Amino acid sequence: MKKIRVGTRGSELALTQTLIIINEIKKYKPDLKFEIVKITTKGDIVNEASLSEIGGKGLFIKEIEDALMNGEIDMAIHSMKDMPFEIPEGLKILPVFKREDPRDVFISRSDKFIDLKENAKVATSSLRRNVQIRSLRPDIDIVPIRGNIATRIRKMDELNLDGIVLAAAGIKRLGLDKLVKDYFPVDLVVPAPCQGILAVEIKEDFESEFFEIYPMLLDVKTFFESSAERKIMKKVGGNCKTPLGVYSEYKNNGNEELISILVSYYKDGKLLKIKETGLIKDIENISEIIVEKIGGL
Any idea which residues carry the catalytic annotation?
A: 82
Q: Is the dihedral of CA 42, 232, 86, 77 positive or negative?
A: positive
Q: Which residues contact 155 (CB under 8 A, 6 or more apart)?
A: 123, 145, 147, 161, 164
105: number of Cβ within 10 Å: 25
In the chain, beta strands by DSSP E: 4-8, 34-38, 75-79, 91-96, 104-108, 121-123, 141-143, 163-167, 180-184, 198-203, 244-252, 257-267, 270-279
Interatomic CA distance for residues 165 and 293, integer angstroms: 28
